[in-house]
């Protein structure tokens, strides 16, 4: 393929290396060496993944967690544009400012839907197994070029601005990845089976409603623990859904699957473990409370989870 996911990772690594360098020379940050080391290690994980053996990559990840844990990731100073400057620029540039922002989703969609089978000289243009991610990378390159042309800003400024945004997110930027590693260890150690055994031993299996409720609530709960409904689905469905609802009570597996997965998503809305959906956005939006997004989602999630239990109860046995 011509544009691969590795290429997109290298681009991310170069950007992060720029951020690490700027952190290094920022004397206003009292922990500038540790902050720079944190982003530098992160950059290395994108740039040198083919050279670093998995065990050392693990040590790198743990080192990053330790730096964050001792408060080594701090913000610095950014030579920010003032309110008046921004207002004047907005008057000058007007709605042109939206184009680069909208170009990102637009090119990503075009790449994902339209260019996924395009080949040039026998080589696939985009990496087919990761077409959305690669399209996103390409979209960002075009968008930043357009933004630079429109605003007459330099590439250096775009890295500086990236650092301002990334520092406001801080260590939370790495949390989704770290949680994914935890999910991997949970799977190896058999946490899922233990949970499924516990739940199925606690419910009266002859009662259809109890079984349905246990499955839907179990999906939500286990998703909250794992931070990911995909990890919860095979465990809960093998432990409760398939043996009790489908085999014992004759429920419809398609209904079970669809509503079961959505019950898991209700859990995703309520857990800090789903950091990329809940914690990173809170940081991106400068919310003082890292759980601010979760708090507004809990009512929707609980109402919808209740709706799911009843939907499944009425639909799963009605349609064979």
Partner 1 sequence: MLTLIGVVIVIVGFALRFNPLLVVVVAGIATGFAGNVPFEKILVTFGDAFARNRYLALFILTLPVIGLLERNGLKEQSQNLIKKIEAATAGRIMILYLFIREAAAALGLTSLGGHAQMVRPLVAPMAEGAAENKHGKLPEETRNKIKAFAASADNVGVFFGEDIFIAFGAILLMKGFFEQNGIILEPLQIAVWGIPTAIAAFIIHATRLYLLDRTIKHEVEMAGRRQETSVS
Q: Can you state the percent helix, strand and coil of the chain, rounding each to 5?
A: 75, 0, 20
Number of residues that bind partner 1 (CB under 8 A): 142
Q: How far is the CB of 121 from partner 1 (least distance, A)?
A: 27
* Site track 11-50 with partner 1 (rule: CB under 8 A), x = hit: xx--xx----------------------------xx--x-
The only residue of 183, 218, 239, 251 in contact with partner 1, by rule CB under 8 A? 183
Cα–Cα distance, 283 to 90 (Å, whole number): 25
Nearest to 236 by CA among 262, 258, 217, 251: 217
Question: 74: Cβ–Cβ under 8 A, 6 or more apart, which residues?
Answer: 29, 30, 31, 32, 34, 35
213 part of the interface to partner 1, by CB under 8 A: no
DSSP 125: S
Cα–Cα distance, 202 to 195 (Å, whole number): 11
Q: How far is the CB of 244 from partner 1 (least distance, A)?
A: 14
Q: How many C-beta atoms surround the C-beta of residue 230 within 10 A?
A: 11
- Comparison of 5 and 203: residue with beta carbon closer to partner 1: 5
List the interface residues with partner 1, window 222-261 (CB under 8 A). 225, 229-230, 233-234, 237-238, 242, 246, 252-255, 257-259, 261
Q: How far is the CB of 47 from partner 1 (least distance, A)?
A: 11
Nearest to 247 by CA among 216, 205, 305, 209: 205
List the interface residues with partner 1, window 85-144 (CB under 8 A). 86-91, 93-95, 97-98, 100-101, 104-105, 108-109, 112-113, 130, 132-133, 135-137, 140, 143-144
* Site track 49-78 with partner 1 (rule: CB under 8 A), x = hit: x--xxxxxxxxxxx-xxx-xx-x-------
* Site track 281-310 with partner 1 (rule: CB under 8 A), x = hit: xx-xxxxxx--xx-xxx-xx--xx--xx--
Cα–Cα distance, 191 to 195 (Å, whole number): 6
CB 60 within 8 A of CB 66: no
What angle do helix axes 229-236 and 191-202 make, rounded to 10 degrees?
60
- Comparison of 41 and 121: residue with beta carbon closer to partner 1: 41
- Comparison of 25 and 285: residue with beta carbon closer to partner 1: 285
């Amino acid at each position: 393929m011509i544009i691969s996911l590795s290429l997109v990772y290298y681009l991310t690594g170069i950007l992060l290396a720029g951020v690490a360098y700027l952190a290094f020379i920022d004397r206003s940050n009292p922990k500038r060496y540790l902050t720079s080391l944190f982003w530098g290690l992160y950059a290395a994980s994108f740039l040198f993944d083919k050279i670093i053996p998995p065990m050392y990559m693990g040590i790198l990840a743990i080192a990053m967690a330790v730096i964050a844990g001792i408060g080594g990731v701090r913000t610095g100073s950014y030579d920010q544009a003032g309110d008046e400057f921004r207002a004047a620029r907005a008057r000058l540039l007007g709605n042109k400012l939206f184009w680069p922002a909208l170009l990102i989703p637009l090119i990503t969609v075009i790449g994902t839907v339209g260019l996924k089978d395009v080949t040039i000289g026998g080589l696939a243009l985009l990496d087919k197994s990761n077409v959305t991610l690669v399209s996103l990378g390409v979209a960002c390159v075009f968008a930043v070029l357009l933004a630079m042309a429109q605003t007459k800003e330099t590439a250096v400024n775009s890295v500086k601005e990236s650092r301002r945004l990334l520092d406001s997110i801080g260590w939370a930027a790495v949390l989704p990845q770290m949680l994914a590693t935890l999910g991997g260890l949970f799977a190896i150690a058999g946490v899922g089976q233990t949970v499924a055994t516990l739940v199925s031993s606690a419910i009266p299996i002859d009662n259809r409603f109890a079984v349905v409720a246990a499955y839907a609530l179990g999906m939500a709960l286990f998703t909250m623990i794992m931070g990911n409904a995909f990890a919860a689905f095979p465990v809960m469905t093998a432990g409760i859904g398939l043996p009790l609802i489908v085999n014992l009570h004759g429920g419809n597996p398609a209904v079970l699957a669809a509503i079961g997965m959505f019950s898991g998503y209700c859990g995703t809305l309520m857990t800090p473990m789903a950091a990329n959906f809940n914690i990173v956005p809170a940081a991106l939006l400068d919310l003082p409370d890292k759980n601010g997004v979760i708090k507004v989602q809990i009512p929707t999630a609980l109402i919808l989870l209740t709706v799911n239990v009843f939907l499944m109860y009425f639909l799963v046995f009605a349609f064979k």
